[in-house]
Structure 1
């Protein structure tokens, strides 16, 4: 399972663009950008992304990057621990 990280174009501040670029350099991830992810309330308040469909939000871009990798690790642990 390749983790999917999705960004809303309306949330791409300079710090979120930097996060997106770092993630795009990670060959183990799929990174996509959409016109709108329909989380407008969050989008207008803080940096966020979707990781495998789950909202990950933070106060800064640096914190967002860390939280994205944490969410990926949690998803992978859950997948491998519950794999039949």
Structure 2
């Protein structure tokens, strides 16, 4: 199953590393990633591939820990829902 992950917050060392490590620990594959820094704000969007059996609640809980540790906003949604919400 594909998912979209976004990260937004004040730029700091280790954001990509910590998010990527957490995803690796959950055996979630990063298919594509884009990131940029706007002034002092970091933004990143990832397309992920997860196992069909993994629960989004588990992923969200694990990412919430990283979010709190870094002080950034991390959100994840099913790619099908994301696509439906953003169609014109």
Q: RCO higher in 1 or 2 (8 Å CA, sep ≥ 6)?
A: 2
From the two aligned structures, give the one with the greater strand fraction.
2
TM over 0.5: same fold?
no
Q: If the length of structure 1 is used for normalisation, what is the TM-score?
A: 0.38
